[in-house]
């Protein structure tokens, strides 16, 4: 199987790049960075036409870039072979069902619980405080909603991945 990178430009145009092409593009863009002579613009000659390109904004972790080509801005999303495999399998890293549950990110002791069943919360509201490795970690609401169940109380010891709080499902 030949690994392909999917590139979406402004969600209107789709391109496929093989590993060799992606490597060449990566070397073209980042060779100056490694040499410590990063240029603001890259000059590209394609089909006897000249293009001036620059990366204006980058979100490296999500692989989303804003690229300006000859004065026009484009949003470029890059999907790796792993991203494609996850999509083909029908899985999602940002699954909505995950937002219905708050799980313990690490083992620890519950120092405080600030919500109860039936409470309405907004995204970012404090739900509880977990002490782990002598540090207090405030866990917050992943979305707006109503608390369906609270499975913890002050002083409880929890393991990583334990269900702490559950939200009512969104319709």
Residue-wise pLDDT for 108-156, tens only, equals 999 999 999 999 999 889 999 999 888 888 899 988 999 999 999 999 9
The DSSP element (H or E) to which 110 belongs, if any, is strand 108-113
Report how far Cα 29 is from the mean position of its chain's Cα atoms. Answer: 23
3-state SS of the chain: helix, strand, coil percent to 5?
A: 20, 45, 35
Q: Rounded distance, CA 123 to CA 52, Å?
A: 42
Residue-wise pLDDT for 59-99, tens only, equals 777 788 888 888 889 898 888 777 777 666 655 554 444 47
Instruction: Give Cβ neighbours of residue 149 (< 8 Å, ≥ 6 apart).
Output: 117, 165, 166
pLDDT at residue 46 is higher than 50: yes
Q: Which domains does the chain have, with CATH numbers?
A: 4-88 (no CATH), 98-167 (2.40.50.100)
The model's pTM is: 0.45
Q: Rounded distance, CA 25 to CA 122, Å?
A: 43
Q: Rounded distance, CA 127 to CA 121, Å?
A: 9
| 84: three-class secondary structure by DSSP | helix
Locate all alpha helices (DSSP H) within the chain, ordered by sequence.
Answer: 19-35, 81-88
Q: Rounded distance, CA 160 to CA 169, Å?
A: 23
The pLDDT score that the predictor gives to residue 3 is 63
The pLDDT score that the predictor gives to residue 29 is 56
| Pair 152, 164: CB distance under 8 Å | yes
């Amino acid at each position: 199987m030949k690994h392909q990178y999917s590139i979406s430009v402004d969600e209107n145009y789709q391109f496929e790049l093989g590993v060799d092409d992606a490597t060449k593009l990566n070397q073209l863009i980042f060779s100056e960075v490694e040499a410590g002579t990063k240029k603001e613009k890259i000059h590209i000659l394609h089909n006897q036409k000249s293009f001036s390109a620059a990366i204006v904004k980058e979100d490296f972790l999500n692989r989303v870039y804003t690229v300006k080509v000859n004065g026009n801005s484009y949003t470029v999303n890059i999907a790796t072979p792993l991203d494609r495999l996850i999509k083909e399998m029908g899985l999602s890293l940002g699954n909505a069902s995950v937002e219905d549950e708050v799980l313990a990110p690490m083992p620890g002791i519950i120092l405080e619980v600030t919500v109860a069943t039936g409470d309405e919360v907004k995204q970012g509201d404090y739900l509880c405080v977990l002490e782990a490795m002598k540090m207090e970690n405030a866990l917050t609401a992943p979305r707006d909603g109503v608390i369906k169940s609270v499975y913890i109380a002050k002083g409880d010891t929890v393991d990583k991945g334990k269900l702490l709080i559950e939200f009512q499902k969104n319709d």
